[in-house]
Amino acid sequence: MGIYTRLIVKAASLVLVLIAVLFFMVVILGATGVSDRILSSLVSEEVRLYRQSVAPQIKDPAALEEAVTKFREERIKSYGLDRPWHERLPDMFLRVLMLDLGRARLAQTFAGSNKISDIMLERLPNTVILVTTAIAINFLIGIFLGVRVAAKPGTRLDRITSFLSAVSYAVPTWWLGIIFILVFAFYLRLFPYGGLYSAPAPQDPLLRVLDILWHAALPVTVLVLVNVGLTIYVTRTIVLNIAQEDFVNVARMKGLPEGLINRRYIMRVAAPPILTNVILGLAGSIGGAILTEAVFSWPGMGSLFFEAIVQSDEALVLSLVYMFTIVYVAGRFVLEVLYVVVDPRVRV
């Protein structure tokens, strides 16, 4: 299989996953009656707008009422609310796909729009920035330390990292975030409680970037701290296994310098499985980001989840699940491309 075929197959299967998730969501929405509620609120919103627009022209209250009722019935028909939910599946499917889900109940964009697609587009980059930064730092630290630890298996350092990675598995990201706020924002007053900018945000571009970094410090640290233990541990195990292989021993016996052995004989082989691990950890990182954003009121999609659930804004929850699946699928694809770069075997 050539590179391109491989990438196309990967892309196709990921798109298939996306479609399957969408389909699954739409079926559940229909079966639980949630889609009825979403569509009805769309209808009443349109009816309200219609009444406002025709009210100046139609002076007779009875005639106005009649026109509004007629409009309502027409809308109900066009949304398919008069038909059972399974007949509406394709329509609902497209609606979610295009994020054409009307307006959020309370959530708004910075400029004041409450259209769901606008909100999503505003929040998406913030989530992507947070997740990618955290994953990148996590793996830089994790691989660096993992390789170090693997060089001395069985030592105290090795055992301490194994234990710490086990402990970090048991720590909920969001709780650690809360504790960080309590310690670093409430008691020590070193970092802000949350958000993306100070209010008011500084005008100077450089200061603005520094301001964002200052706000991002705690959430990124929390995300990294919770995940890095496992990364170190997994990297250590992979590297350790490869370091015991015959070809590495032969290289040592040939008298090659240790640095060269590490780079060419061990890391070259270890890179693909480590990357596979990054891919497997992606879903977890996204989940952690949802909760971390909520804790730090980071204005991404995760904190929106927190609000949407309390406001029981069904359309918003639905769009968020969809958007997170897209982020995941896109992230997966980027990593698959990286995999092709790292692993020469798939390029033959």
Stretch that binds other proteins, among 107-115, 130-138, 256-264, 309-317 (CB under 8 A): 309-317
Tell me whether residue 92 or residue 251 sits nearer to other proteins (CB atom). Answer: 92
C-alpha 41/C-alpha 105 separation (Å) is 10
Least Å distance, CB 329 to other proteins, is 9
Closest CB 136 distance from other proteins, rounded Å: 19
Point out which residues pair with 103 in neighbouring strands: 115
Residue 215: count of CB within 10 angstroms of its CB = 21
Q: Are 109 and 122 in contact (CB under 8 A)?
A: yes
Is 291 a binding residue for other proteins by CB under 8 A? The answer is yes
In whole angstroms, the minimum distance from the beta carbon of 283 to other proteins comes to 5
Distance CA 22, CA 16 (A): 10
- x-or-dash pattern for other proteins, window 310-339, by CB under 8 A? x---x--xx-xx--xx-xx---x-------
Q: Which stretch binds other proteins (CB under 8 A): 71-79, 130-138, 206-214, 282-290?
A: 282-290
Residues 20-59, mask of contacts with other proteins (x by CB under 8 A):
xx---x--xx--x-x-------------------------
- Cα 218 to the chain's mean position, in Å? 18
Interface with other proteins (CB under 8 A), residue from 169, 250, 264, 341: 169
Closest Cα partner for 107 from 99, 97, 118, 96? 118
By CB under 8 A, name the one of 23, 110, 144, 175 that touches other proteins.
175
Among 7, 17, 137, 256, binds other proteins (CB under 8 A): 17
Amino acid identity, position 51: R
Among 62, 111, 170, 206, binds other proteins (CB under 8 A): 170
- Token pair for 338: 């990286």
Say how far apart CA 9 and CA 340 lie, in whole Å. 13
Cα–Cα distances in angstroms (integers) from residue 247 to residues 153, 251, 261, 264, 265, in the given order: 19, 6, 10, 11, 8
Annotate each residue in 207-246 with x if it binds other proteins (CB under 8 A) or - if it does not, as one string.
Answer: ----------------------------------------
Q: Which of 49, 94, 140, 283 binds other proteins (CB under 8 A)?
A: 283
- Exposed/middle/buried for residue 96 (C-beta within 10 Å: 0-12, 13-18, 19+): buried
Q: Are 327 and 286 in contact (CB under 8 A)?
A: yes
Residue type for position 7: L
Least distance (Å) between residue 163 CB and other proteins: 8
- Tell me: does residue 298 bind other proteins (CB under 8 A): no
Residues 6+ apart with CB under 8 A from 284: 227
50 alpha carbon, distance to own chain's centre: 37
Which residues fall within 8 angstroms of residue 169, CB to CB, at 6 or more apart?
229, 230
171 binds other proteins (CB under 8 A): yes
Minimum CB–partner distance for residue 193 and other proteins (Å) = 6
Phi, psi at 57, each rounded to 5°: -85, -40
**308, amino acid identity:** A
Min dist. Cβ of residue 71 to other proteins (A): 30
Please give the residue ranges that form the binding site for other proteins (CB under 8 A): 14, 17, 20-21, 25, 28-29, 32, 34, 153-154, 163, 166-167, 169-172, 174-175, 178-179, 181-182, 186-187, 193, 282-283, 286-287, 290-291, 294-295, 305-306, 309-310, 314, 317-318, 320-321, 324-325, 327-328, 332
